[in-house]
Amino acid sequence: MRLPAGGINLLLVVALIWAALSTPEIGALTGFGAGLMMDVSQTSPGPMGHWTLVLIIACYAVAFLGYGDDNIRGNPINIVFLVTIGVVAAQLVFLLLGMMLGQEVGSISNIVFLLAGSAFWTAIISPLILKVTSFFHAVIFGARAHL
């Protein structure tokens, strides 16, 4: 979704929230599914498998950081913070891998502006998405992972 000062990738945010509520294995599978959907999108700028690799790593890392720690899972603010950091890190890894694969990137100031805008909008939108995603996560996996 295009917004002023960057934008927000809803699929990326939903995948990272789902991973934050899950085990690392489910997080990696979530990253694979979401990355595959982003790769087959017509608006995907990178080669096939680029987003899949990035999202497997990002979702696994977010799930690993949140797994087993009730202080993170029990507080929605911590999940929003973890997802916001995960979105910026995933976009930065996507950018770095794209540079290694020979893709053109913009100026440093433009990249920093877009990453900061993406972090801002992710922090604003994530609490709204978190409630819906946690509801569906609780319905699918049971009440033990409920916020």
Domain ranges of the chain: 2-145
- Tell me what pLDDT residue 144 has: 57
Q: Other C-beta atoms within 10 Å of 134: how many?
A: 20
Distances (CA, A) of 145 to 22, 77, 139: 8, 16, 10
**Structural contact between residues 90 and 55, judged by C-beta atoms closer than 8 angstroms:** yes
pLDDT > 60? residue 25: yes
Whole-model pTM: value is: 0.88
pLDDT level of residue 43 (50, 70, 90 thresholds): confident
What lies within 8 Å, CB to CB, of 98 at 6+ separation is 45, 46, 50, 105
pLDDT level of residue 45 (50, 70, 90 thresholds): confident
pLDDT > 80? residue 3: no
- Tell me what pLDDT residue 132 has: 93
Rounded to the nearest integer, the mean pLDDT of the chain is 88
Q: What does the angle CA 28 – CA 30 – CA 34 come to, to the nearest 5 degrees?
A: 120
- Tell me what pLDDT residue 125 has: 93
- Tell me what pLDDT residue 68 has: 75
Average pLDDT over residues 125-147: 82
pLDDT > 60? residue 98: yes
What lies within 8 Å, CB to CB, of 78 at 6+ separation is 71, 72
- Tell me what pLDDT residue 2 has: 64
Q: Give the whole-number percent of the chain exceeding pLDDT 90.
A: 56
